[in-house]
Amino acid sequence: MTGRRTVIRGGLVLDPEGRTALQDVLIEDGRILAIVNPGFEVSDDAEILSAADQMLIPGLISAHTHSHGALSRGAIDDRVSLEMFLTGQGASTRSRGTDDKYLSAALSAAEMIRKGCTACFDLTVEIPGPSQQGISAVARAYHNAGMRAVVAPMIADRTIYQALPGLLDALPDELRSHCAGLSAAPIEDTISACSDILENWEFDRRWIRPALGPTIPLHCSDEFLIACARLASEHGIPLQTHLAESRAQAALGRTRYGKSLIEHLEELGILSERLSAAHVIWLDDNDIARLGQSGVRVAHNPSSNLRLGSGVAPVRKMLRNGVTVGVGTDASNTSDGQNMFEAARLASYLSRIDGFASDEWISAHEAFHLATEGSAQVLGFEKIGRLTAGYEADIVFLRLDRPHFVPLRSPLIQMVFAENGASVHTVMIGGRIVFHDGTLLTLDESLLRRQAQEAASRLDQANAGTYASAATVARLVGAFCAAQGCTGHTLPRKLNLTCEA
Ligand SMILES: [Zn+2]
């Protein structure tokens, strides 16, 4: 007895070694049964799909994004550093109802699918704190889009003013008392909400899984981090955090803990294979060795790192130390197109300015491997990220009649270095076609667009006061953070950031 069978005929299939060959892909019950030479005979009831003049690649996997960012697109000034962005984030995400949370995730999923991304790790924030209803709405959006996802409530128990030592003192008197009076949701409320979310998970874990996202170590008390790690361990789920993303974080981590952020997490017992860390830029060789030894996985987000001026992650050094690295885009309000092709290309290009000899640069093949199989490991999904028998049929069909594939000599290199998602013709996830010939088949994009515009007007009006005060404070926070690391602590990641004498 066999299940539902599909055969994709005549495509140029990319194998895990980066080679391509014209082959047929046999799919049964959403998984790849075999990849065989063209002309393979199948039973009459099998569905036949033609992939003539197309390249078949595994779906790209974003190791780090935030679905709440989709509805915040364009809401914050373009020249903002990470901490300035975080200061304004509350303004762009507050006042949202459950429908808005669903809408933002649906917009985010639609964007990813259009650009050939079939799975993601989503840290999603709710203000004032996580709720079962909100996280379910986000997970349902992925379910309806037909995409795989790990969905983690992004949580903290400190405001940015409590998180960054010295920040409050640096603010003018009239702002200091206001900012000092702000508070995050209490630990007990957040942990208990997360516990409810995990205990009542209603989605098929082959597709959508839960996780926890203690957002940034400095923004979480030790007690909070330990409680998150314990809860994740009890439920056998992953944890993801933003680690050493900015120079200010690394410098202020030393101020608060007297050691590096990575050493601090190690001391708390949190470094393990359960943890993945996004960005991971400002760290030294000992920190990198610790990540390798403990099995922490890293989500590299090169486009966001450039957009927010955060820096260049030492990916080659991490790989040399045995760290598993995946690639992510970060949210559509921090790297703005959620384009995994672009992120893979930047992962390769940025490795070239790190002072290594050319044979140490991240190759096109390696970058693609990180953006698929590396990211799959960050998500904790075992059978996605490659076109091989036994793996999920998450397959992207690329048109080969686009300029960057003409003439066609090195399909993988030509794709990684020039594809921008415009060649994506068909996207199949788990054997189901969710995007075809310019149309998303699972969500009504014109409806989403109308709803997004309506939500943006309503939310901007509701949050107008918060936006205005956030803009003023963000400049002060930015100036405070820009000064961190310029004196006192020596950090290894050199950037062309001007430090006033
Ligand atoms: Zn992020």
Ligand 1 centroid to 82 CA: how many Å?
Answer: 10
Consecutive H or E run containing 93: helix 82-93
Neighbours of ion ligand 1 (CB under 5 A): 330
Ligand 1 centroid to 340 CA: how many Å?
Answer: 15
Alpha carbons 304 and 337: distance in angstroms, whole number = 10
Ligand 1 centroid to 251 CA: how many Å?
Answer: 19
Ligand 1 centroid to 126 CA: how many Å?
Answer: 14
pLDDT at 492: 46
Closest C-alpha among 341, 68, 373 to residue 215: 68
pLDDT at 2: 61
Ligand 1 centroid to 278 CA: how many Å?
Answer: 7
Alpha-carbon torsion angle 135, 139, 140, 144, nearest 10 = 160
Ligand 1 centroid to 279 CA: how many Å?
Answer: 8
Strands, E assignment, 60-171: 60-65, 117-124, 148-155
Ligand 1 centroid to 66 CA: how many Å?
Answer: 6
Ligand 1 centroid to 23 CA: how many Å?
Answer: 38
Residue 92 three-state SS: helix
Structure token pair of residue 457: 């007007």
pTM of the model: 0.96
pLDDT at 41: 84
Consecutive H or E run containing 458: helix 445-462
Ligand 1 centroid to 280 CA: how many Å?
Answer: 11
pLDDT at 500: 41
Output the tens digit of pLDDT for each of the chain's 501 residues.
Answer: 567 899 999 999 999 999 999 999 999 999 999 999 998 888 888 999 999 999 999 999 999 999 999 999 998 888 999 999 999 888 889 999 999 999 999 999 999 999 999 999 999 999 999 999 999 999 999 999 999 999 999 999 999 999 999 999 999 998 999 999 999 999 999 999 999 999 999 999 999 999 999 999 999 999 999 999 999 999 999 999 999 999 999 999 999 999 999 999 999 999 999 999 999 999 999 999 999 999 999 999 999 999 999 999 999 999 999 999 999 999 999 989 999 999 999 999 999 987 789 999 999 999 999 999 999 999 999 999 999 999 999 999 999 999 999 999 999 999 999 999 999 999 999 999 999 999 999 999 999 999 999 999 999 999 999 888 888 899 999 999 999 865 443 444 444 344 443
Ligand 1 centroid to 65 CA: how many Å?
Answer: 6
Ligand 1 centroid to 302 CA: how many Å?
Answer: 11
Ligand 1 centroid to 36 CA: how many Å?
Answer: 40
Ligand 1 centroid to 276 CA: how many Å?
Answer: 12
Alpha carbons 270 and 248: distance in angstroms, whole number = 22
Ligand 1 centroid to 322 CA: how many Å?
Answer: 23
Closest C-alpha among 132, 56, 96 to residue 386: 56
